[in-house]
Amino acid sequence: MAKIFLLLLLVFFGLRETGEAADKIKIGVSNYNLSNLSVGVAHKRGLFKEEGIEAEIIAMRPSIVTAALVSGDLAYSTLIGSVVGAAVKGSPVRLIAVSLDRPPLALVAQKKIGSVNQLKGATVGVGSYGSTPDLVARRIVKHFGFDPERDIRVLAFGSAAARLSALQKGIVDIIVVAPPEDFEAQKLGFNVLVRADELLTFPYNGMGTSLSRIEQHADEVKRLIKVLIKANRFIRKNREGTIQVLVDWAKTERAHAAAAYDVAYRAFSEDGSAREDDIRLMIENAKKSLNVTRSILPSDVADLSSLRQAQRELGLKVR
């Protein structure tokens, strides 16, 4: 009997090592792009497999993320703005880690606007009202001494391509975009006024999941966060390898990939941490856009217990 038990143990751990018993999960992303580079690197570099995970990465609309997480059709999502917004409304979802702790966004302006001193009275194009580009635009305007409620007019255009088109047509004075659209705009002669990651610290991308996933699959959650941290540390230290992932996985032109890496690699968090002040800022932004007035604590939208375990196992300082 003891021999049979030992054999079963060997078979079980052998399966884990060969990846045959890997946990199969689905991760929702907005697109295969720079913002979601952490999961792209993890996929291309075999980091999921290292932690016994088989991940399917699915591009999806932010509007369906919460329902998919709660139903279990989706295990995780990098759309942390949607996750926090849903948690603010009372949905059983939580932010569990941050991959980009600074937004890799730029304010790109018409040729006639050459300085941030000309922001007053500008019409600014963002993706959607209450989105991260919207918040970033308002914070930058405030940073330079203007009133974001009175001194600018914000219009929502959806995709980055639609924003760039609006800039070309003269519908807006300024747009908020991430690479590669900022470089495309520069090639067309528009001005990059300021890059947000040079001024602001604000969670832009990361990982969120459902409360049931945290409760029922705690070890998997921890291992996924370890994957995220490993991917980010690779990104920060391996320029050429990361550029190749952008080319192969995100289908980015090499010149754009190199330029995007050079302006954004420092924004990738080395340890996945989320500062309490930043979480509170996300909460206030979500409350404002969703017309929520009740008091909400960081613990109502974020569960960082698995993150701390992952940091300990990787020998990192727990924050």
Biggest CA-to-CA distance, the chain: 83
Q: Which residues make up the CATH 3.40.190.10 domain(s) of the chain?
A: 21-102+202-313, 106-198
Helix H segments across the chain? 2-18, 37-44, 47-50, 65-71, 80-88, 132-143, 160-168, 181-187, 211-216, 218-237, 239-248, 254-264, 276-290, 305-313
pTM of the model: 0.84
CATH of region 106-198: 3.40.190.10
The mean per-residue pLDDT over the stretch 120-131 comes to: 88
Q: Which residue has the tokens 């999960």?
A: 25
C-alpha torsion sign, points 27, 32, 38, 41:
positive
Band (pLDDT 50/70/90 cuts) for residue 1 is: low
**pLDDT for 92:** 98
Confidence (pLDDT) at 169: 97
Q: How far apart are CA 301 and CA 309, in angstroms?
A: 19
For residues 29 and 58, is the Cβ–Cβ distance under 8 A? yes
pLDDT at 11: 45
Burial of 233 per CB tally in 10 Å (0-12, 13-18, 19+): middle
What is the model's pLDDT at position 20?
55
State yes or no: pLDDT of 12 exceeds 80: no
User: What's the rounded mean pLDDT across residues 236-249?
Assistant: 98
Residue 131 has what pLDDT? Answer: 76
Cα dist from 22 to 18, 51, 210, 223, whole Å: 9, 8, 20, 12
Quote the crossing angle between the two packed helices 37-44 and 239-248, to the nearest 10°: 100
Residue type at 297 in one-letter notation: L
pLDDT digits (tens, 9 = 90+) for 21-61: 789 999 999 889 999 999 999 999 999 999 999 999 999 88
Mean of pLDDT values over 62-82: 92
Mean pLDDT, residues 214-234: 98
Which pLDDT belongs to residue 202? Answer: 84
| Residue percentage of the chain with pLDDT more than 70 | 94
Is pLDDT above 90 for 15?
no
CATH 3.60.10.10 assigned to domain 21-102+202-313? The reply is: no
The whole-angstrom distance between residue 298's C-alpha and the CA centroid of its chain comes to 18
Paired strand residues for 109: 174, 191
Average pLDDT, the chain: 91
Report the pLDDT averaged over residues 164-191.
94
10 confidence band (pLDDT: 50, 70, 90): very low
Rounded to an integer, what distance in angstroms lies between the CA atom of residue 272 and that of residue 309? 12
For residue 6, pLDDT beyond 70 = no
Residue 52: per-residue pLDDT: 98
* Averaged pLDDT, 108-131: 92
* Higher pLDDT, residue 30 or 315: 315
Which distant-in-sequence residues (6+ apart) come within 8 Å of 92 by Cβ? 70, 210, 211, 212
pLDDT on residue 56? 98
The residues near 37 (Cβ < 8 Å, ≥ 6 apart) are 231, 235, 242, 245, 246, 250, 268
Q: Are 101 and 267 in contact (CB under 8 A)?
A: yes
Check if the beta carbon of residue 201 is closer than 8 Å to that of residue 239: no
- Average pLDDT of the segment spanning 66-87: 94
132-171 residue pLDDT tens: 788 889 999 999 999 999 999 999 998 888 999 999 999 9
Q: What is the pLDDT of residue 159?
A: 84
The answer to whether the peptide bond before residue 180 is cis (omega within 30 degrees of 0) is: yes
Question: Are β-strands 23-29 and 53-59 bridged in parallel, bridged antiparallel, or unpaired?
Answer: parallel
Rounded Cα gap, residues 37 and 132, in angstroms: 18
